[in-house]
Amino acid sequence: MDKNYKLDTLCVQAGYTPASGEARIPPVVQSTTFAYDKTQDMADLFDLKSDGYFYTRLANPTVAAFEQKVAALEGGACGIGCASGMSATTLAVLTVAGAGDNILTSQAVYGGTYNLFSTTLPKLGIECRFFDPDAPAAEIEKLIDGKTKLIFTETIANPSIIVLDFEKIADIAKKHGLLFAVDNTLATPVLCRPKEWGANLIIHSSSKYLDGHAAALGGVIIDAGNFDFKNNARYPSFNLPDESYHGLVYADLPVAFGTKCRAQMIRDLGAIMSPQNAFISYIGCDTLALRMERHSSNAKKVAEFLSAHPKTEWILHPSLADNKYHKLAEKYLPAGQGGMLSFGIKGSVEKCAAFMEALKLITQETHVADVRSCVLHPASTTHRQLSEADLIKAGVPHNLIRLSVGIENPDDIIEDLKQALEKV
Ligand code: PLP
């Protein structure tokens, strides 16, 4: 596929190209394994000397089509399909960090990611050092030491809607020879391509906009192919032979991170994307460019309506001129600022519940970023494990309502919000 095609063309066409007479869209290869005539052919696959499939835990043609589509969209060297967004983040970290190491992470990340970093990874001996993404570079840099393996951030933070200052983080990462990872779930490559701003790893929960229909759980890690591990003292595991893989030295390979992630982590932890989910997610990506345009324009209209409403206390969407992140959004999200917004209802937590229960079109869901508009009260659901202080740190006050604006007619969405606010 010609890499110079525009992004909306890549959404539709990249990932799978049939040979003459083959199925036009990627078939669902629902098979755990693949049959061979010659022993040497299989041996070459195990030695990574040839491309092909031998066991779906390692690779599968339908999953590969999805991986290649997202890699093309992000301009990356390769993609790795995972069982979920959470497994994508977990596998990305474990590919570079082990007991005794640490990572730096923005404190404004999705609640599940926050939990992984604050509770589960420390149990494995990986310390996660949280920073305020708005802090000056010098303050963030203070957290880095010789054992730091990764800086983790989100392009648009869920649910605090903080837009990342890519250049600040990319400069820190470059200065210290550190991998820079970005969860690009809420922006998608249609609105922002983190590689163009210096990111080395791009992570998606494909359960969100990539699938777009709330039909398939999944995740993907994109190795941007722009990080040189060779002789970087921070990454001995990339520079020493991997005895579990015939003495392979990953830093010598053209796609070092992606190969290590698949050969070690996917092999050993097995949290792969299923062929069926890859198929659904692949089809979802076909319409991604169109959907992101509509999600963004609908959210802008809804944000303008809510910010003028007397019963709302505050509203966060980077399209609003008075939003703290408007300038960053103009720079990093010029084509649209996405469908996620959050706002505070004047008054108590009970008022939030009354408002949400009065909605008719918009449903209450844990999900975000699919075609249907939905709301959630994070402090009592996704973020309920956080203390009062940690809620504030994560940018989730008690009266925050997260609204994922779908692609319905904007007038109907606004009408529903209006009638529900009237009942508060
Ligand atoms: N990253 C972000 C920004 C998310 O919003 C989510 C889920 O909402 C995840 C990661 C986790 O993804 P999944 O639910 O597919 O495991």
* 3-state SS assignment for residue 160: coil
What pLDDT, on a 0 to 100 scale, did the predictor assign at position 235? 98
The proportion of the chain whose per-residue pLDDT surpasses 70, expressed as a percent, equals 100
Average pLDDT, the chain: 95
The confidence band for 373, taking pLDDT boundaries of 50, 70 and 90, is very high
What pLDDT, on a 0 to 100 scale, did the predictor assign at position 392? 75
What pLDDT, on a 0 to 100 scale, did the predictor assign at position 335? 96
Instruction: Write the DSSP assignment of 7-52 as a string of letters.
Output: HHHHHHHTT--PPTTS-SS------SB---S-HHHHHHHHTTSS--
Best CA proximity match to 149, nearest among 185, 176, 168, 118: 176
Mutational pocket test of ligand 1: of 70, 82, 86, the residue with most ligand atoms within 8 Å of the beta carbon:
86
Contact criterion met (CB below 8 Å) for 313 and 345: yes
What pLDDT, on a 0 to 100 scale, did the predictor assign at position 394? 65
User: Is it true that the peptide bond before 159 is cis, omega within 30 degrees of 0?
Assistant: yes
Paired tokens of 344: 């505070």
What pLDDT, on a 0 to 100 scale, did the predictor assign at position 51? 87
170 lines ligand 1 (CB under 6 A): no
Tokens 């904007």: give the residue. Answer: 410
Cα–Cα distance between 6 and 347 in angstroms, integer?
A: 47
**Residue 412: CA count within 13 A, CB half-sphere:** 10
Cα–Cα distance between 404 and 80 in angstroms, integer?
A: 27
158 lines ligand 1 (CB under 6 A): yes
Paired tokens of 162: 């903080």
What pLDDT, on a 0 to 100 scale, did the predictor assign at position 262? 96
Pick the more confident residue, 263 or 382.
263
Tokens 């779906």: give the residue. Answer: 56
382 lines ligand 1 (CB under 6 A): no
Find the mean pLDDT for residues 227-238: 97
Paired tokens of 262: 């698949």
Pick the more confident residue, 299 or 2.
299
Helix (H), strand (E), coil (C) string for 216-268: CCCEEEEECCCCCCCCCCCCHHHHCCEHHHCCECHHHCCCHHHHHHHHHHHHH
Q: What is the DSSP letter of 193?
A: -
What pLDDT, on a 0 to 100 scale, did the predictor assign at position 384? 77
The confidence band for 293, taking pLDDT boundaries of 50, 70 and 90, is very high
Best CA proximity match to 419, nearest among 360, 377, 363, 375: 360
Residue 407 has pLDDT above 70, yes or no: yes
pLDDT tens track for 377-395: 887 777 777 777 877 776 6
Beta bridge partners of 363: 374
206 lines ligand 1 (CB under 6 A): no
Contact criterion met (CB below 8 Å) for 62 and 279: yes
Cα–Cα distance between 59 and 349 in angstroms, integer?
A: 47
Find the mean pLDDT for residues 243-255: 93
pLDDT tens track for 53-87: 999 999 999 999 999 999 999 999 999 999 999 99
pLDDT tens track for 137-195: 999 999 999 999 999 999 999 888 999 999 999 999 999 999 999 999 999 999 999 99
β pairing state of 127-131 and 102-106: parallel
Helix (H) or strand (E) holding 331: helix 326-332
CA of 254 to the centre of ligand 1 (A): 29
pLDDT tens track for 315-358: 999 999 999 999 999 999 999 999 999 999 998 878 888 999 99
CA of 231 to the centre of ligand 1 (A): 34
pLDDT tens track for 110-136: 989 999 999 999 999 999 999 999 999
Mutational pocket test of ligand 1: of 109, 113, 154, 383, the residue with most ligand atoms within 8 Å of the beta carbon:
113
Whose Cα sits closest to atom 12 in ligand 1?
Answer: 85
* 3-state SS assignment for residue 341: strand
Cβ contacts of 317 within 8 Å, gap of 6 or more: 161, 299, 300, 302, 303, 323, 337, 340, 341
Find the mean pLDDT for residues 13-23: 97
> Exposed e or buried b for every residue in 151-185, given b needs 16+ CB within 10 A?
bbbbbbbbbbbbbbbbebbbebbeeeebbbbbbbb
